[in-house]
Amino acid sequence: ECNASASVLSRYQQEAGQLGQLINETSGSAAAPSLIQQLALRTIRLAVLGDMQARHEAAQGDFEAMRFWAGKAARLQEGAARQKLQLQRWAVQQQEAQTQQQSPQKQQTQQTQLREPGAGG
C-alpha cells in the first residue's frame, strides 16, 4: 500500500545515487554474485519507488509525469529481472563446475580401489 499523497522523489534520488555507486564498482570487470544481488535489490527498490512516484503524480493529476515514472519503473523491473537471470546462470555454472570437479575425483578413487590388492573380490 502506498501513500500517493507523498512524493518519494528524494528517496528515489538517494537510492539512484547508491545504485550508481554500485554500478561504478562493477564497471570494467566481472561482478561477483553478491554484488549482482545488491544491484538487483537496489534496482527493485528503485522500481518500487518509481511506481510510488507514478501513483503520486497520478493523484496530483499530472498524467504525463505519471507515464514517465511508470515507464521508468517498468524499465527498472526489466533490469532487475535480467540481473536475477544473470544470478541464476551463475548458480548453474557453479553447480556444473562443481560437478565436473567431483567427477575426476570419483574416477581417481575408483581406479585406486581397483588397483589395490584385495579390492574388488
- Specify if 66 maps to a domain: yes
Give the chain's domain count: 1
Domain that holds residue 23: 9-115
Q: Average pLDDT, stretch 71-79?
A: 96
- Specify if 90 maps to a domain: yes
pLDDT for 66 equals 97
- Specify if 54 maps to a domain: yes
Contact 35, 25 (CB under 8 A): yes
pLDDT of 121 over the 60 cut: no
Dihedral, 83, 85, 90, 93 alpha carbons, nearest 10: -160
Backbone angles phi and psi of 4, in degrees to 5: -70, -10
Calculate helix-pair angle for 33-60, 63-115, nearest 10 degrees: 160
- Specify if 3 maps to a domain: no
Calculate helix-pair angle for 33-60, 9-26, nearest 10 degrees: 160
- Specify if 1 maps to a domain: no
- Specify if 19 maps to a domain: yes
- Specify if 55 maps to a domain: yes
- Specify if 14 maps to a domain: yes
Which range among 5-19, 25-39, 65-79 shows the weakest confidence by mean pLDDT? 25-39
